[in-house]
Amino acid sequence: MLNVQNIIELISKILALMLVLPLHEFAHAFVAVKSGDPTPKLYNRYTINPLAHFDLLGLACFAFAGFGWAKPVPVNPNNFRNYKKGCFFVSIAGVTANYLTAFIIYPLLILTFFVPNFGYFDDVLQLSLRYVFNFSLAFSVFNLIPIYPLDGFRVVDVFSKRRSKIYKFLRYQGIYLLYFLFLLSIFSDITGVWQINILGYLLSKVVGYVSMPITLFWGLFF
């Protein structure tokens, strides 16, 4: 049964995702266009409008498992002025944008602890900023997994000259392993059996490490 706290959490998650996911995909589109490829504009993805980027299954995974995905921005690397540079910078644009978002949001989150509380509005604001911070880092780390079609694989693809068995697995079979781990995470969330949430556990550990430079830096001022 929904109570006030559940509603506040749901609203906060939606508000956070409306910022985190579009920024990630728009970053890909922005760098692709600047690299010479007009494809994102042709497909109406050169925008921060959340509706242009949301994927229903990816959103559901975010809601249940705390990590998910958006619709990939269509890109034609053959249009890049410099093929390798274009592929590399487009690949890392999304995770870079998310990490920078977390860096900027963190001090704002800290400041909310020092202002007077005005009831539910403050609760939504503080929780939304916390979700933006957490989701941004989780989305960055998740997308660095070197499995197609995630950004991490696209980086590997840029520098991989030899199509080894490992490469072929990451390109063609790795996604099935990812789906399996997703299902375990969702099942864990529903049943409360946290021990089977392998992907969630690993991501939370890595997120903890990558968040340290941000918290340590802003800790110098707060």
Distance CA 64, CA 87 (A): 32
Which residue out of 19, 20, 25, 105 is catalytically annotated?
25
Q: Is 25 a catalytic residue?
A: yes
> The tokens 């109406």 sit on which residue?
44
Distance CA 30, CA 34 (A): 6
Token reading at 193: 């059996």
Residues 6+ apart with CB under 8 A from 110: 218, 222
Distance CA 41, CA 61 (A): 28
150 three-class SS:
coil
6, 13, 110: which is closest to 66 by C-alpha? 13
Residue 193: is it exposed, middle or buried by C-beta count within 10 angstroms (0-12/13-18/19+)? exposed
Residues 6+ apart with CB under 8 A from 120: 4, 8
Token reading at 40: 């994102």
Start-end of H helices in 43-117? 56-65, 83-111
List the catalytic residues.
Answer: 25
